[in-house]
Amino acid sequence: MIPYVPHHFVDGDNLDMEKINDNLEAIGRDIERSLEARYTYSTITLDIDGVTEASAAVLRAVAIRRPSAGNALEVYAVEVVLYAAGAVVWTLACSDTSWPSITVTAAGATVEAHASGGIPVSVTSAAADLTFTLTPASASTCTRGYIVVHLRVDRGNQGTSHAGHFPALLTSATTAPATSIDAELVSLAAAAARDTTNSVDVRCEMFSTRGLTSGSSVSWALPSGARRILGSVQYVVGAAGSIATGTVTGTGLSGSSAAATATGATVLVATVDAASGSLADEPMDSTDDATVTITVSGGVTAALAALLVFWS
């Protein structure tokens, strides 16, 4: 293979200035390439089957927040797909009013209508939601559809510096070359350490169910792969007393369980669980796959129960 650092020095050789500069530049480029691999992408989807103009706004909305204050998230694109009779215009609007709304016109109960928006908007809080709410202009029923939110996370924007280093090169005017070389190597090592430290590449998954009766549960088996859990957010909408509990289990995880108690049919209630642990999941062994379960209790049906799970 071709080495990243082009020149090798041995005892007895002269220290050629150009070779030293070539090596310093090569080390700087290598670190910069790694620092630039900073973005992680994920997608969450909320089904809107059966939603109508009479449905409460919280039943027509996707909500998302940061897993913690230091974990920056950005929505970089949103899509709406729906099947609905007639030609009613549905509008998707964001709680951050700087984001321009998008519209999609229903094309029939068996014909897909689609719209998307690509203006980025930041998820700024770990205690409050950024929401995207879909509203029809007049009477309309979505027989099948979903809202897709595309997320982007910059691991270099998680609270610490992510700066590289472009080394100062030796010249004929350099008066203390050994000191200069040492200083550049120290600065390059610091940049490499920042790249290693900034390893929190946040990803998000959403699991949701509608009309789940008390005493019932629904589960999902997650695809295999190494991952660290950062936390979860359980949402619920329903008559007062309906309790939705979202649980994440898996080999190596400390366990995550968040329970949210509904307070009314028009209110979205959220409970946060700051979980931890690294998933030990063999790709060829399904017995250690992580499992997500949403359970409803309290004697009341949950109109909507949704769980966000954040991974790194």
Task: Quickly list DSSP for 122-159.
Answer: EE--SSS-EEEEEEESSS-BEEEEEEEEEEEEEGGGSS
Give the chain's domain count.
2
Tell me which of 155, 175, 201 is where a domain ends: 201
Beta-bridge partners for 45: 148
Per the model's pLDDT, the better-predicted residue between 307 and 291 turns out to be: 307
Asked if residue 7 is part of any domain, the answer here is no
Same domain, 233 and 281: yes
- 135 found inside a domain: yes
Domain shared by 69 and 34, yes or no: yes
CA torsion, ordered 174, 180, 184, 186, to nearest 10 deg: 180
Alpha carbons within 13 A on the beta-carbon side of 262: 26
Q: Are residues 40 and 74 located together in one domain of the fold?
A: yes
- Residues 119 and 260 occupy one common structural domain: no
Domain boundary, last residue among 167, 201, 235 = 201
Residue ranges of the alpha helices (H) in the chain? 17-36, 177-197
- Give the C-alpha separation, 296 to 247, whole Å: 12
Q: What is the DSSP letter of 29?
A: H
Domain range holding 135? 16-201
Rounded Cα distance between 227 and 297, Å, is 30
- The rounded percent of the chain whose pLDDT value lies above 70 is 98
Residue 296 lies in a domain: yes
Q: What is the pLDDT of residue 276?
A: 78
Q: Are residues 212 and 283 in the same domain?
A: yes
Tell me, yes or no, whether 52 and 136 share the same domain: yes
Indicate whether 11 belongs to any domain: no
Within a domain: 9: no
| pTM score of the predicted model | 0.88
Same domain, 126 and 159: yes
Report the C-alpha gap between 31 and 178 in whole angstroms.
Answer: 22
Over range 290-303, report the average pLDDT: 95
Residue 278 near residue 262 (C-beta atoms within 8 A): no
One domain, residues 249 and 192: no
Q: Among 111-115, 191-195, 221-225, 290-294, whose mean pLDDT is lowest?
A: 221-225
